[in-house]
Structure formats: C-alpha cells, structure tokens
Amino acid sequence: MSKDKKLLVRGCPLCDIFLDNNPKTKLYWPEKIEDIKDSEFIIVDCLTCKIPMVVYQDHVTTVTKEAWGRVLYRTRKMFGGGISLRCKPRKIFDHYHCHVTNIEKNYASTKRRRESF
C-alpha cells in the first residue's frame, strides 16, 4: 500500500469519521475540520466515555513506534505531560485508538497550550 493511500472501512465508526469528515463530537486535533482527511490521527471526544481519544486514520490494530511517538508528543503538547493513554479497546477492537486519561489537573491549561501551536 502506498504511504498516501489509507485503509478505511465503511461501517467502522472510527473510519467513518475520516470518510465523512465529520467527528460528531468535539474535535481537538487537527484544529480545523477540513484537515481531518489529511491527518495521520485525530483527537476527538469519545462518544461513549466523553473524554478525549486519539483515533489513528488507518483501520489497523497496532501502530509503529514512530507513529506512537507522534501520538504521545501531540497529546502531551495538548493536555500536559501528566497524561496517560489507555489503548486497551472496550468496544471497537479492530481500529487503533487510545483514550487520554489523567488530564483533569492539566485540562485548564489545554486552551492556552493549543493557542501556542
């Protein structure tokens, strides 16, 4: 598969975000909804948990160490260095995503951090 071609599956609720360019919930990253299709991953509020989650664009179950590093870098920049990423799926098992946890103490600084990008 070429680097530019993404593997997306219609009917997967996480793939549908990219296919429809519509997160149906708060979008943290990228900052503009029109940039979703070009992003390696997005950060949106989980419809079930109501906390931020990172959704990788490809319909895969794992990511490379390099991709993991980019995910970790972006989430720490947005939510602070004390966050944790819970990557054990509870409902959707075939599309890589992680929930951002331990952000309460850092959440107040999120808006200020985002404005500095």
| Domains, the chain | 13-115 (3.30.428)
Q: What angle do CA 28, 83, 107 make, to 5 degrees?
A: 55
Q: Quick one: CA torsion of 60, 37, 73, 53, rounded to 10 degrees? A: -70
Among 25, 82, 87, CA closest to 54: 87
Give pLDDT tens digits along the chain (117 positions).
345 567 999 999 999 999 999 999 999 999 999 999 899 999 999 999 999 999 999 999 999 999 999 999 999 999 999 999 999 999 999 999 999 999 855 454 445 444 444
Return the amino acid letter for 62.
T
- Residue 100: strand, helix, or coil: strand
